C-alpha cells in the first residue's frame, strides 16, 4: 500500500483547485505557512488551502522554510501559524547562499529551531532536508531529528504523479545521516489539477501516514455509511473491471470496544452510465485490516494480490466481514467510476 501527496505554495500555485487534488487520488498535502519570521503566507492563501483540504479529506501539514539564525523568532512565527490553522508541521531545511550552492544552515541551527518549536508546543513530525543538502553540509549525523522527507527527482517528461513515480530510483529511499526516509518528493513537475506541482510518495497506508503526523483518522463510534470518491472512468466502459484505475481508502474505528463486539463492513459500488455488457459497476481488489502495530491482515483470501479480488455488480455489495481482535482500521483498494460506499456496524 502507498499513497501520494503534494506540497504547494500559496503564490506559485495561487489558483490550484484543492478539491480536484483530492479527486485525482492524492491523500495528503503540505502547504507553506511561514518563512523566516514572515507570517504572511496564511493570509496569502495557505489558510484557505488548508481549510479546503480538510473539507476535501486531505491529510494536511503546514511547512516552514528555515532561514539562517534567529531560530527562536522563526519558531514562534511557525508555531503561531500552525496553531491558527490547527495542523502539524514540516520543516523545510535547504537554504542556500547567494551563489546558489553553499548551505547557510547548520545542524546546530536546525536542532535549535526544532527545540524552540517543542517548547512552544508546535508538532513537527517531518524534516525536509534533501540528501544533496546533507552532502554539502559534510554528511553530519541527523540522529534525534524527525524522520526525513527526502527528494530525488525523476528525469522524465511531466505527467501524472503515479506515472512519473514509476521511473524513480530504488536508492532514493535509502536512509542517510542515521535517519530513515518516510516521504519522497520525486518531482516538481507532476501534472496535478491542471498545474505543475511538487509530488510526493509515502510507502504506507493513509491510516499510517495520519499516525506518522500525529493525526490519527477519526474513529468510528456508531453504525454509519462512508461515501467513497469515484475513481477515474475507464477508457472502455465495457472492459474488464479488474483493469480499471483504482484508488485507496482507509477507515479508522474504535479498537477499544466502541462497537461492542467488533467492526463489520460491506462494500458496494454506485450506479454509473456507459457499461452495456453486464451490470458490473465496480471492483474491490485489496481489503486488509489495519492492526494496532500498523501491520496489515487480509480481510479474506479473495482480497489479496493472489486472490483475484471481486467484481461488484449493481445493487449487489460484498458480504459482511468482521474485524479480528486488535484491528484498528480498514484499508481498501477499489475501482468504482460512479463512486462507492462502505456500510459499517457491529459484528457481534
198 or 296: whose pLDDT is higher? 198
Residue 248, classified by CB atoms within 10 Å of its CB into exposed (0-12), middle (13-18) or buried (19+), is middle
pLDDT of 52-88, one tens digit each? Answer: 998 888 999 999 999 999 999 999 999 999 999 999 9
Q: Which of 248-257, 315-324, 333-342 has the lowest mean pLDDT?
A: 248-257
Mean pLDDT, residues 9-16: 91
pLDDT tens by residue, 134-149: 999 999 999 889 999 9
Return the CATH class of domain 224-346.
Answer: mainly beta
Checking if the pLDDT of 327 tops 90, the result is no
Q: In Å, what is the CA distance from 108 to each residue of 85, 105, 111, 135, 242?
A: 28, 8, 5, 16, 52
Q: Which residue has the cell 490519527?
A: 216
CB atoms within 10 A of CB 73: 13
Helix (H, G, I), strand (E, B) or coil at 337: coil
Q: What is the pLDDT of residue 219?
A: 53
Residue range 197-202: mean pLDDT, rounded: 96
Q: Radius of gyration of the chain from Cα atoms? A: 21
Q: What pLDDT, on a 0 to 100 scale, did the predictor assign at position 330?
A: 84
Instruction: Please give the Cα distance from 27 to 159 (Å, whole number).
Output: 18
Enter the C-alpha cell of residue 134. Answer: 546533507
Answer whether CATH 3.90.230.10 is correct for domain 3-212: no
Name which of 318, 301, 317, 312 is nearest 337 in CA terms.
312
What pLDDT shows up at residue 262?
Answer: 65
CA angle 216, 218, 220 (to 5 degrees): 130
Which pLDDT belongs to residue 217? 58
pLDDT beyond 60 at 95: yes
With vertex at residue 315, the alpha carbon angle to CA 309 and CA 321, rounded to the nearest 5 degrees, is 50
**Range in 68-77, 108-117, 286-295 the model is least confident about:** 286-295
pLDDT tens-digit series, residues 214-238: 875 555 555 677 788 888 899 999 9
Provide the mean pLDDT of the chain.
89
- What local confidence, expressed as pLDDT, does residue 204 receive? 86
pLDDT band at 293 (very low <50, low <70, confident <90, very high): low
Residue 103 is given by DSSP the state: B
Same fold, 3-212 and 224-346: no
Residue (of 334, 335, 316) closest to 233 by Cα position? 335
Across residues 158-186, what is the average pLDDT?
94
pLDDT, tens digit (0-9, with 9 covering 90-100), for 240-258? 999 998 887 777 765 443 4
The predicted-structure confidence for 251-287, as pLDDT tens digits, reads as follows: 776 544 344 446 788 999 999 999 999 999 999 999 9
Confidence (pLDDT) at 260: 43
Q: What percent of the chain has pLDDT over 90?
A: 70
- Rounded Cα gap, residues 267 and 269, in angstroms: 7
What is the C-alpha separation between 159 and 260, in angstroms, rounded?
47
What are the residue boundaries of the structural domains of the chain, listed by start?
3-212, 224-346
Amino acid at each position: 500500500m502507498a499513497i501520494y501527496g503534494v506540497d504547494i505554495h500559496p503564490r506559485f500555485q495561487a489558483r490550484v483547485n484543492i478539491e480536484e487534488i483530492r479527486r485525482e487520488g492524492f491523500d495528503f498535502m503540505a502547504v507553506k505557512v511561514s518563512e523566516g519570521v514572515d507570517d504572511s503566507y496564511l493570509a496569502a492563501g495557505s489558510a484557505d488551502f488548508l481549510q479546503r483540504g480538510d473539507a476535501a479529506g486531505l491529510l494536511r501539514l503546514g511547512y516552514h522554510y528555515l532561514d539562517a539564525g534567529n531560530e527562536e523568532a522563526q519558531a514562534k512565527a511557525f508555531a503561531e501559524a500552525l496553531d491558527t490553522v490547527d495542523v502539524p508541521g514540516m520543516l523545510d531545511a535547504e537554504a542556500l547562499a547567494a551563489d546558489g550552492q553553499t548551505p547557510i544552515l547548520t545542524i546546530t541551527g536546525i536542532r535549535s529551531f526544532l527545540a524552540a518549536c517543542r517548547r512552544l508546543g508546535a508538532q513537527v513530525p517531518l524534516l525536509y532536508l534533501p540528501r544533496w543538502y546533507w552532502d554539502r553540509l559534510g554528511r553530519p549525523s541527523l540522529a534525534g531529528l524527525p524522520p526525513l522527507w527526502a527528494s530525488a527527482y525523476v528525469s522524465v517528461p511531466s505527467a501524472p504523479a503515479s506515472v512519473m513515480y514509476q521511473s524513480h530510483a530504488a536508492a532514493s529511499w535509502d536512509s542517510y545521516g542515521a535517519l530513515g526516509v518516510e516521504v519522497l518528493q520525486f518531482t516538481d513537475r507532476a501534472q496535478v489539477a491542471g498545474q505543475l506541482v511538487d509530488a510526493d510518495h509515502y510507502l504506507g497506508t493513509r491510516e499510517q501516514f495520519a499516525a506518522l503526523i500525529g493525526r490519527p483518522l477519526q474513529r468510528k463510534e456508531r453504525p454509519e455509511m462512508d461515501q467513497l470518491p469515484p475513481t477515474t472512468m475507464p477508457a472502455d466502459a465495457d472492459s474488464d473491471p479488474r483493469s480499471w484505475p483504482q484508488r485507496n481508502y482507509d477507515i479508522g474505528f474504535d479498537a477499544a470496544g466502541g462497537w461492542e463486539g467488533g467492526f463489520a463492513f460491506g462494500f458496494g459500488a454506485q450506479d454509473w452510465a456507459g457499461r452495456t455488457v453486464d451490470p458490473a459497476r465496480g471492483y474491490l481488489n485489496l481489503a486488509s485490516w489495519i492492526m494496532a502495530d500498523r501491520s496489515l491482515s487480509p480481510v479474506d483470501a479473495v482480497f489479496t494480490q493472489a486472490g483475484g479480488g471481486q467484481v461488484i455488480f449493481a445493487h449487489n455489495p460484498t458480504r459482511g466481514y468482521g474485524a479480528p481482535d486488535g484491528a484498528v482500521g480498514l484499508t481498501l483498494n477499489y475501482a468504482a467510476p460512479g463512486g462507492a460506499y462502505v456500510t459499517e456496524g457491529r459484528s457481534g
